Amino acid sequence: MGWKLVVRAYDAYGNKVGSHQSEEGQIYIEPQGLCVMAGIGLENGYAKKALDSVHEKLVSDYGVELLSPCYTKYHIELGEITTYPPGYKENGSIFCHNNPWISIAETKLGRGDKAFDIYRKICPSFVEEFSEIHRTEPYVYSQTIAGRESHSFGEAKNSWLTGTAAWSFVNISQYILGIKPDFDGLRIDPCLPKELKSYSIQRLFRNCIYIIDIENVGLGKVEITIDDKKLDGNLIPLQKNKDICKVKVRV
């Protein structure tokens, strides 16, 4: 088998859940995303293998599915997840709340194009062109979108009932655009798609307004100047006695 993954759990009988040895539910979204977000597997290549398996098994046109293949019969040791029809809710739908975890995980590998592609698959700004399939308000996140094994692939349910917006904001602002609040200052660490050449951000942080202009020129590193002075590293120290701080960034 060419794909590798992080096992989801063990059931009460000691059997693996979310393993290639499982008949159904062989791969789950959560362990792949969360482990890479935590930095696990970055050094030995396991993180890349896990995310490559996500793209092979879980990524669809409308987002990343929770698991695959879906459960087709009830498993008493797994409970509710196996009560839903294939492709719906916890049984293999595109659960929007944890799609940002995969996007954030991609930034840990420096794969900006993949991170942004995952981000926009469920982003309301990009779904207008298939509203007749999505069938909910095109300006708000939905809790779940029917997966490929369902009878209504791409149809969204339970709009407004989700924590997706908060996770998506953290994803786009802190990990893709790369403006991260830190204890000692403001860290600039973008992971950008090639198509995004430049952008400007105004960020109020601890009583100082940071005006940040970023150019994506393919440096492979971050270069920062603050009020025309070059900064070592990517952490902007606290500007305690300033109301405005002008920052220029090249990545």
The span from the CA of 114 to the CA of 195, in Å, is 12
DSSP string, 26-52: -EEHHHHHHHHHTTTTTTTSHHHHHHH
CATH of 9-173, one of 1.10.10.10, 3.40.50.2300, 1.50.10.10, 3.90.870.10: 1.50.10.10
CATH 3.20.20.140 fits 194-250, yes or no: no
* Predicted pLDDT of residue 138: 86
* Predicted pLDDT of residue 227: 85
pLDDT per position as a tens digit, 164-197: 999 999 999 999 999 999 999 999 999 999 999 9
**Domain boundaries of the chain, sorted by first residue:** 9-173, 194-250
Which of the residues in the chain have pLDDT under 50? Answer: 1
CB atoms < 10 A from the CB of 126, how many? 12
Helix and strand element counts for the chain (H, E): 6, 17
CB atoms < 10 A from the CB of 167, how many? 19
pTM for this entry: 0.94
Residue with tokens 């409308």: 62
* Predicted pLDDT of residue 5: 81
CA dihedral 89, 63, 109, 215 (to 10 degrees): -140
Reduced to 3 states, what is the DSSP secondary structure of residue 201?
A: strand
* Predicted pLDDT of residue 6: 87
